[in-house]
């Protein structure tokens, strides 16, 4: 537990940069519950730290009170960890995660330290406009250029990282060259598997571990046959769809979901067509502009709990779970869209599939709806999983009616 008292600017910067979540349990922290913990405990300062630096092969200038060693935590998580020193592998893993955030935290600290000067700056700007030292058109030009520059360095922070054998990716940039990721080996099942088995109609097997291998195999008719391989395959499918989304992303000209900000968790702004609905029962509600929130209140749609996804909704024996990845204009129509990752499964079993899709809102009068012509299933080259799900749902409905 930290003995050093950090000022509110550092505490706030750490809290904001970790999206207000506890580093250890990944659940949200209220500001009044926020504690700052040292990954390598503060009690190891001095000679003990020198031995750890040598043993863990850390930078010789490693600072126990440096940003790389500080994380936001719940009080209880901090107390449970106490003065525990994690093993070398865990410590280096945690420090690797925090190292990626240090630049962002430093930027946040700088923003917070200069924010108090905002009023003074605005008064000077207003004075400059009033005395014609700068025109409205010049100011608009400056703002336009600033927006373009910010977009060029736009950072995409994934809610859940993509894990490769040698590295974990949770941050991407729109101008980033991601070609190397096509041949980078992924790990699956939480690190228990280094490959996925795909099969074809002749029961031939291909083992794949990279996006390039997966694309080559599925193109010639291979697909994940078992439910386990199908779940793991969804990770490769998501990587492909993510890279395509990053490549097609453009700065939107207008937005009805960020101005003001609306999240997909706001069900009163969500169209029923975002749910997976095999027999089209929800189409009539979508056409009538009836929201998912209204269907929940009518008892037609049920809200389920989910640890991994932002929302999880059940309709007629089918559960659709969604989590936002990032926002941009993906179809070049000038309107901001949302790239989401999802999972659909039959209630009462584990049979399901992963998908990625695009949501948008065309005006303040529209609901947020799915605009993809079809959802991009992880087994897109083969409809086996969809057929199984349809049959299972129909059997469940027949039993319910009988």
Dump pLDDT digits (tens) for 348-392.
Answer: 777 788 899 999 999 999 999 998 854 443 334 334 445 555 555
Residue 386 is assigned to a structural domain of this protein: yes
State how far the Cα of 1 lies from the Cα of 74, in Å rounded to an integer: 11
Q: How many residues are present in the chain?
A: 402
Beta bridge partners of 186: 164
Enter the tokens of residue 259: 């101005």
Check whether residue 87 and residue 138 sit in a common domain: no
Q: What is the pLDDT of residue 72?
A: 92
State how far the Cα of 399 lies from the Cα of 317, in Å rounded to an integer: 12
Check whether residue 89 and residue 29 sit in a common domain: yes
Q: What is the pLDDT of residues 245-290, one digit of tens each?
A: 999 999 898 999 988 889 999 999 999 999 988 778 899 999 999 9
Check whether residue 282 and residue 377 sit in a common domain: yes
Beta bridge partners of 198: 206
Residue ranges with strand state E in 6-147: 34-38, 70-74
Give residues with Cβ within 8 angstroms of 107, minimum separation 6. Answer: none
Cα–Cα–Cα angle for 219, 340, 106, nearest 5°? Answer: 115
Residue 214 is assigned to a structural domain of this protein: yes
Cα–Cα–Cα angle for 378, 25, 265, nearest 5°? Answer: 55
Residue 215 is assigned to a structural domain of this protein: yes
Domain extent for 137: 117-152
Closest alpha carbon to 193 in 165, 160, 159, 217: 165
Check whether residue 210 and residue 272 sit in a common domain: no
Enter the tokens of residue 290: 């009836």
Of 105, 136, 165, the residue at which a domain comes to its end is 105
Q: What is the pLDDT of residues 118-166, one digit of tens each?
A: 666 777 788 888 888 888 888 887 777 766 666 767 889 899 999 998 8
CA dihedral 85, 89, 90, 96 (to 10 degrees): 110
Check whether residue 284 and residue 360 sit in a common domain: yes
Residue 253 is assigned to a structural domain of this protein: no
Check whether residue 331 and residue 361 sit in a common domain: yes
Query: How far is C-alpha 375 from the geometric centre of its chain's CA atoms?
Result: 18
The pTM score is: 0.62
Of 248, 276, 297, the residue at which a domain comes to its end is 248
Of 195, 220, 248, the residue at which a domain comes to its end is 248
Cα–Cα–Cα angle for 216, 218, 311, nearest 5°? Answer: 120
Number of domains in the chain: 4
Q: What is the pLDDT of residue 301?
A: 96
Q: What is the pLDDT of residue 12?
A: 85
Q: Look at residue 394 and tell me whether its pLDDT is greater than 90.
A: no
Residue 47 is assigned to a structural domain of this protein: yes
State how far the Cα of 206 lies from the Cα of 197, in Å rounded to an integer: 6
Check whether residue 397 and residue 271 sit in a common domain: yes
Residue 262 is assigned to a structural domain of this protein: no
State how far the Cα of 392 lies from the Cα of 29, in Å rounded to an integer: 40
Q: What is the pLDDT of residue 175?
A: 77
Check whether residue 148 and residue 178 sit in a common domain: no
Check whether residue 272 and residue 373 sit in a common domain: yes
Check whether residue 278 and residue 388 sit in a common domain: yes
Q: Radius of gyration over alpha carbons of the chain, in Å?
A: 25
Unique residue bearing structure tokens 């994934």: 158
Check whether residue 226 and residue 101 sit in a common domain: no
Q: What is the pLDDT of residue 265?
A: 93
Residue 392 is assigned to a structural domain of this protein: yes
Residue 293 is assigned to a structural domain of this protein: yes
> Which long-range CB contacts under 8 A does 229-234 form with residues at least 24 apart?
229/196, 229/197, 229/198, 230/352, 230/353, 230/378, 230/379, 230/385, 231/352, 231/354, 232/188, 232/189, 232/193, 232/196, 233/196, 233/198, 233/354, 233/378, 233/379, 234/343, 234/353, 234/354, 234/355, 234/378
Q: What is the pLDDT of residues 14-33, one digit of tens each?
A: 988 898 899 998 888 887 78
Check whether residue 221 and residue 273 sit in a common domain: no
């Amino acid at each position: 537990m930290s003995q050093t008292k950090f000022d509110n600017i550092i505490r706030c910067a750490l809290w904001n940069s970790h999206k207000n979540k506890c580093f250890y349990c990944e659940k949200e922290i209220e500001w009044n519950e926020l504690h700052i913990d040292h990954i390598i405990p503060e009690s190891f300062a001095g000679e003990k730290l020198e031995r750890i630096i040598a043993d863990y092969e850390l930078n010789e200038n490693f600072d126990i009170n440096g940003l790389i060693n500080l994380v936001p935590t719940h009080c209880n998580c901090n107390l449970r960890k106490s003065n525990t020193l994690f093993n070398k592998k865990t410590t280096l893993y945690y420090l690797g995660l925090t190292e990626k955030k240090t630049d962002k935290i430093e930027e946040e600290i700088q923003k917070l330290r200069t924010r108090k000067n905002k009023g003074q700056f605005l008064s000077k700007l207003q004075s400059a406009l009033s005395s014609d030292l700068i025109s409205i058109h010049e100011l608009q030009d400056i703002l336009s250029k600033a927006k373009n520059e910010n977009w060029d360095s736009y950072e995409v922070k994934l809610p859940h990282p993509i894990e490769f054998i040698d590295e974990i990716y949770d941050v991407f940039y729109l101008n980033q060259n991601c070609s190397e990721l096509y041949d980078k080996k992924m790990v699956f099942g939480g690190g228990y598997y280094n490959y996925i088995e795909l099969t074809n109609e002749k029961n031939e097997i291909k083992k794949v571990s990279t996006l390039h291998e997966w694309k080559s195999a599925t193109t010639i008719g291979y697909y994940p046959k078992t439910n386990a391989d199908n779940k793991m395959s969804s990770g490769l499918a998501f990587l492909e769809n993510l890279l395509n989304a990053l490549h097609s992303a453009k700065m939107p000209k207008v937005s009805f979901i960020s101005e003001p900000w609306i999240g997909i968790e706001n069900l009163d702004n969500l169209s029923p067509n975002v749910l997976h609905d095999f027999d089209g029962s929800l189409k009539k509600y979508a056409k009538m502009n009836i929201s998912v929130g209204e269907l929940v209140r009518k008892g037609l749609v049920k809200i389920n709990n989910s640890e991994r996804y932002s929302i999880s909704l059940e309709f007629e024996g089918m559960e659709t779970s969604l989590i936002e990845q990032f926002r941009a204009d993906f179809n070049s129509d000038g309107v901001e869209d949302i790239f989401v990752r999802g999972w659909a499964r039959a209630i009462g079993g584990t049979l399901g599939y992963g998908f990625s899709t695009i949501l948008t809102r065309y005006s303040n009068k529209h609901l947020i709806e799915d605009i993809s012509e079809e959802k991009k299933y992880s087994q897109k080259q083969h409809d086996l999983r969809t057929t199984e799900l349809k049959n299972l749902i129909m059997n469940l409905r027949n039993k319910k009616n009988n």
